Amino acid sequence: MDFNGFDRPGRSAAGDTRSVKIMIAGGFGTGKTTLVRSVSDIKPLTTEATLTQASAGVDPLVGVDDKQETTVSLDFGKIGLNDELMLYLFGTPGQERFWFLWNGLFKGALGAVVLVDTRRLDSSFRAIEEMERQEVPFVIALNVFPDSREHPIAEIRDALDIPDHIPVVACDARDRASSRDVLIALIHHLKERSAAVLETR
């Protein structure tokens, strides 16, 4: 893969490994921590807290009612996609009460994956809006749960109001290969965007 064309911070001299910051965002309980855990080459750093009764009524647990823990601050992991590219992954907290952290968290990020649980599309609306507001390029990853109904991707794209040039892919966040494929889809998307920008110069 050729990753020329990236000009954000993190670009290094020819021959060196490039390190880039990638965000894993999405609504409450969509599988952000699971994805960082499944794909990371190192034991990821996570900041999980046990969900307590105090969360009842605050965090909508429909569809994720066996959920035990939630991310308070962030998840951190890393993966070398090849000899040239190291991705530093930052998983965001999903609970709305921690979203005040999001501004600082996205600084210097090259791109983001927005995880979506198709049983609860609305839980990821706000994350998508944040990517648009902060102008972070992103792909959508539909995390398939056992009781998720099968929807054509075009239908979901429509419901989320995602334009055609933004990739929407399905994944199983628990599976390393599947999570890695999502990250590769993001890298391809970033590369295409970057080529399009260069063409207009």
The mark string for 30-59 relative to Mg ion (x by CB under 5 A, - otherwise) is --xx--------------------------
Residue 101 or 154: which CB sits closer to Mg ion?
101
Compute the least distance from the CB of residue 132 to ligand GTP, in Å: 20
Binding site for ligand GTP (CB under 6 A): 26, 28-34, 64, 67, 70-71, 93-95, 143, 145-146, 172-174
At its nearest, how many Å lie between Mg ion and the CB of residue 23?
13
* Residue among 30, 38, 71, 123 that touches Mg ion (CB under 5 A): 71
CB 79 to Mg ion: min, Å: 17
Contact 52, 68 (CB under 8 A): no
Residue sitting closest to ligand GTP (CB)? 94
Report the residue number, 27 or 167, with the smaller CB distance to Mg ion: 27
Interacting stretch for Mg ion, rule CB under 5 A, among 51-59, 66-74, 146-154, 155-163? 66-74
Q: How far is the CB of 9 from ligand GTP (least distance, A)?
A: 26
Pair type for strands 138-143 and 48-50: unpaired
Q: How far is the CB of 38 from Mg ion (least distance, A)?
A: 13
3-state SS string over the chain? CCCCCCCCCCCCCCCCCEEEEEEEEECCCCCHHHHHHHHCCCCCECCEEECCHHHCCCCCCCCCCCCCEEECCCEEEEEEEECCEEEEEEECCCCHHHHHHHHHHCCCEEEEEEEECHHHHHHHHHHHHHHHHCCCCEEEEEECCCCCCCCCHHHHHHHHCCCCCCCEEEECCCCHHHHHHHHHHHHHHHHHHHHHHHHCC
Point out which residues bind Mg ion (CB under 5 A). 32-33, 71
